[in-house]
């Protein structure tokens, strides 16, 4: 008898989505199926959490629009710094944007404005209330962005213009604004292939630009797996963890059908149980509302604001979800780093028990 997808180890899953395939391997490497929901209002706090808890997680979930001092600079801002931390610690970034509008509007929300989530978030999500066109609209926006990232301008320095890397200390003492500008640009984009000229330009393949990693003396890249692909992915909201929500069974089934028709962009779902019901379904299910009380076998029910909680054992072991999303249970702990490790360990134990059943 063939195994169900829930009992198939992550490393044996055959997802055609590049990010899903990468995430499955990352989970195995880190022995983690934990996502931190970093719903904080300060960029400093957000970056600190990403840096300290990054080793325990495979996904960091953000809400950029609740961060009061979000810096939208594409190269050096908050998103760029999060992307650098993701490369350092080995996790993906999931901007919990919950798009739900007409196609042209969601494209602008995704690529423009203060958030520009497509630049730094590997994953985002959407409701299907506007219909299936919302998926194709976001997919087109992500594809256009990806095409731009394939190439960067490579230029030739004009004769007589010194290259920044060849400048001596004596050169620095000269009041030459062009030289100063070239050196400043090189320092800012040290990982890029870009150079400057006033004469000619050509285009060649380039990797994603990387911002300096905060709180680090030098750039450090997670060494146990390659960097995440530049591809972007979408999760559909099939089910919610809040009491009285209106996402019924018919809605969830519609989500699954749309996902099956858009496997090149849709990675999976936000849901309370696996949505993999067909033999060839390889979708990832991420689930909020997870809590692990200190009693561990004790069960938390609600936060009093509609949020309903379940333990990792129930969500992963019984509901066959893939990734547990934890926020206040970690952030509100006396020692968030230690608590994140406790969730990581319990989540992974539930997964190994499931595939061994």
Catalytic residues, by residue number, are 96, 98, 101
Query: Is residue 328 marked as binding?
Result: yes
210: CB partners within 8 A, 6+ apart: 83, 84, 87, 191, 219
Q: What is the CA 143 to chain-centroid distance, rounded?
A: 17
Q: What are the strands, taking DSSP E only, across 215-337?
A: 233-237, 266-270, 284-287, 323-326
Residue 180 CB neighbour total at 10 angstroms: 15
Query: Is residue 113 marked as binding?
Result: no
Residue 202 CB neighbour total at 10 angstroms: 9
Angle between helices 336-356 and 43-53 (to 10 degrees): 50
Query: Is residue 61 marked as binding?
Result: yes
- Under 8 Å between Cβ of 121 and 160: no
- Under 8 Å between Cβ of 281 and 17: no
- Which residue is listed with tokens 């072991």? 317
Query: Is residue 231 marked as binding?
Result: no
- Residues annotated within a binding site for substrate: 39, 61, 241, 307, 327-328
- Residues annotated within a binding site: 39, 61, 241, 307, 327-328
């Amino acid at each position: 008898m063939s195994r169900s997808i829930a009992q198939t180890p992550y490393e044996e899953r055959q997802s055609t989505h590049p990010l899903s395939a990468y995430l499955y391997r990352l989970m195995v490497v880190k022995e983690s199926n934990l996502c931190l929901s970093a719903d904080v209002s300060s960029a400093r706090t957000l970056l600190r959490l990403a840096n300290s808890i990054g080793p325990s997680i495979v996904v960091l979930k953000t809400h950029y629009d609740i961060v009061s001092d979000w810096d939208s600079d594409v190269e050096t801002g908050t998103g760029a710094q999060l992307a650098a931390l993701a490369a350092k610690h080995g996790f993906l970034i999931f901007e919990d944007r919950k798009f739900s509008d007409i196609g042209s509007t969601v494209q602008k929300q995704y690529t423009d404005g203060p958030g520009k989530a497509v630049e730094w978030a590997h994953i985002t999500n959407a409701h299907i209330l506007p219909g299936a066109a919302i998926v194709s609209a976001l997919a087109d926006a992500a594809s256009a962005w990806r095409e731009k990232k394939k190439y960067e301008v490579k230029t030739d320095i004009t004769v007589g213009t010194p290259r920044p890397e060849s400048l001596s200390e004596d050169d620095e003492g000269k009041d030459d604004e062009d030289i100063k500008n070239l050196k400043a640009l090189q320092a800012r984009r040290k990982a890029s292939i870009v150079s400057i000229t006033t004469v000619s330009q050509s285009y060649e393949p380039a990797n994603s630009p990387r911002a300096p990693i905060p709180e680090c003396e030098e750039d450090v890249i997670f060494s146990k797996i390659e960097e995440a692909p530049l591809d972007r992915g979408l999760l559909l909201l099939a089910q919610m963890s809040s009491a009285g929500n209106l996402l019924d069974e018919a809605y969830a089934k519609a989500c699954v059908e749309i996902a099956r028709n858009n496997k090149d962009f849709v990675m999976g779902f936000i849901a309370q149980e696996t949505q993999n019901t067909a033999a060839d379904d390889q979708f990832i299910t991420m689930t909020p509302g997870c809590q692990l009380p200190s009693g561990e076998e004790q069960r938390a029910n609600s936060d009093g604001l509609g949020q309903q909680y379940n333990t990792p054992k129930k969500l992963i072991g019984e509901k066959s979800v893939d990734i547990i999303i934890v926020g206040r249970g970690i952030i509100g702990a006396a020692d968030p780093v230690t608590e994140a490790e406790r969730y990581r360990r319990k989540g992974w134990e539930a997964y190994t028990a499931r595939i061994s059943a």
